[in-house]
Amino acid sequence: MKAIHVLNGPNLNLLGTREPEIYGRTTLADVEQRLAQRASSREVELVFRQSNHEGDLVDWIQEAAKAGAGVVLNAGAYTHTSVALRDAIKGSGAQVVEVHLSNTHARERFRHHSHIAPVAIGTIQGFGVLSYDLAFDALCALGEANKKS
């Protein structure tokens, strides 16, 4: 995989200060720095973005798919509400790994359903910021496996 896009949805700009008992104290900038180090060691281009606007995420998913890049997607609350994101993934053929910091199934009932999961290649959740590392590593491994086949 030559590039991985890490796309973050609404309120993830508040990471580190928003409900730290659930999401921890690590900031989104910290996550980006961690992944930039991983990307550099693997010679993978990292594109890291956050938006509170659904349309931005749709555009970025389509852009990543067109470039043949893998996507780590933390859609935040849009996970549970956005048919538009689901359709962007399905329609563009984007290779998406869905990520959540918390275990959504251990939280409020409305968080148990994901519109993203059925069109993602996988879901990683409940490991805090390590969820991003695991998703990044999974996409790199899949990219390597695809090169060999």
78 an active-site residue?
no
23 an active-site residue?
yes
Active-site hit among 5, 78, 100, 115 = 100
From residue 5, alpha-carbon distances to 49, 61, 82, 90, 94 in Å are 8, 8, 19, 17, 11
Residue 95's CATH number: 3.40.50.9100
Residue 1 clears pLDDT 70, i.e. is over it: no
Residue 129 clears pLDDT 60, i.e. is over it: yes
Q: How many domains does the chain have?
A: 1
Which residue range(s) make up the domain with 132? 3-148
**pLDDT score recorded for residue 85:** 98
pLDDT digits (tens, 9 = 90+) for 46-100: 999 999 999 999 999 999 999 999 999 999 999 998 999 999 999 999 999 999 9
